[in-house]
Amino acid sequence: MVKRYRDRTAVDGLDLEVARGECFGLLGPNGAGKTTTLRLLLGLTWPSAGSISVLGLPVPENARIARRRVGVVPQADNLDPDFTVEENLEVYARYFGLEPAAVHERIHALLKFAELEERLHSPIRELSGGTKRRLTLVRALVQDPDLVILDEPTTGLDPHARQHLWNRLEELRAAGRTLILSTHYMEEAERLCDRVAVMDHGRIQAQGTPRALVEQFLPRYVLEIREPVARRELLDAGRCRIEEIGALTLVYSNEREYLAALIDHLGISRYLERPSNLEDCFLHLTGRGLRE
């Protein structure tokens, strides 16, 4: 699919498929087209070209019908600040025509799932940021959706709140729920996603399992040297890939023994030797420059 805004192409020939029961991650820097893609999937934005099918329904033509089977966790919390936790969920459930008795039972089950049962009558204004994010996830599950779309669900959360939300998402994934997750946190994508697509300038740069992408584009290990070192001192450059970022030097190699020998040869004391990861791969594919 394609989405153009006057002289700017936000989504440029995107072609992907998400399987039922899969957690699919959409990764990309600011302005890559991730949020536009999610809006297209929800029928909130009309494509300039191409076709979209969500749960077997053509979108945007049947977007209203499709959205009844889709839960959404937006970037920003949009809970009603004038209502309590229970009132927010009850009002949202009315959009789907759920029976009052069924709504009451489901709300209590979901709040227990998110460990929020004690907050049933709390005003939204009294909730912390992490609690609001958990409640937004609960709200997205009220109508028992087949698909849940999450747009940067843990942005701004402290590590404790993020871990808690990850645990809830892992439970949904284990239960066979289909998840589409947009995130800037590579650790989040590695932990939750069956497959990921790295997006930049409106296009998919690469997609696959997190581990497969790392193995496709980078050697297995990386040595971070955090003190000045001359490139010519890095022994046999044919056995490694070197990247210099200011005062930081990254040395990638498939040979862990080579990196160990390099540490001894240089006599360096400020370093970190680790496996290459999805963040390394992401930066390799999209570059290290800052984006607006």
pTM of the entire predicted model: 0.90
Residues 225-281 pLDDT 10s: 998 877 666 766 678 888 888 888 899 999 999 999 889 888 889 999 999 999 999
Dig out the tokens for 286 from the structure: 């999209």
Residue 242: strand, helix, or coil: strand
End-to-end CA distance of the chain: 24
Q: What whole-number percentage of the chain has pLDDT above 70?
A: 96
Say if residue 245 is exposed, middle or buried (CB neighbours under 10 Å; 0-12, 13-18, 19+).
exposed
Identify which has the larger pLDDT, 264 or 210: 210
Average pLDDT value for residue range 102-113 = 92
Give residue-wise pLDDT tens across range 182-197.
998 999 999 999 999 9
Mean of pLDDT over the chain: 92
A 10 A CB-CB count for 62 gives: 15
What per-residue confidence (pLDDT) applies to 65? 95
Tokens 């070197």 correspond to what residue? 242
What percentage of the chain reaches a pLDDT higher than 90?
77
| CATH 3.30.70 is right for the domain spanning 219-275 | yes
Cα-flanking dihedrals φ and ψ of residue 286, to 5°?
-110, -10
Report pLDDT digits (tens) over 40-86: 999 999 999 999 999 999 999 999 999 999 999 998 889 999 999 99
DSSP letter for 123, please: B
Lowest mean per-residue pLDDT among 86-100, 176-190, 220-234: 220-234
Give the CB-side neighbour count of residue 90, counting CA atoms within 13 A.
Answer: 11
Residue ranges covered by each domain of the chain: 2-214, 219-275
User: In whole angstroms, what is the distance from residue 43 CA to residue 37 CA?
Assistant: 10
Write down the pLDDT at residue 247: 84
Band the pLDDT of 215: cuts 50, 70, 90: very high
HSE-up (13 A, CA, CB side) for residue 139: 26
Confidence tier at 290 by pLDDT (50, 70, 90) = low
Go through 115-140 and write b for each residue having 16 or more CB atoms within 10 A of its CB, e for each that does not: ebeebeeeebeebeebbbbbbbbbbb
Q: Is the pLDDT of residue 292 over 70?
A: no
Percent of the chain that is helix, strand, coil (3-state, to 5): 40, 25, 35
145-169 pLDDT, tens digit each: 999 999 999 988 889 989 999 999 9
Cα four-point dihedral sign 82, 83, 89, 93: negative
- pLDDT category of residue 100 using cuts at 50, 70 and 90: confident
- Residue 201 pLDDT more than 90? yes
The CATH code for residues 2-214 is 3.40.50.300
Question: In this predicted structure, what is the pLDDT of residue 280?
Answer: 94
Tokens 């800037």 found at: 184
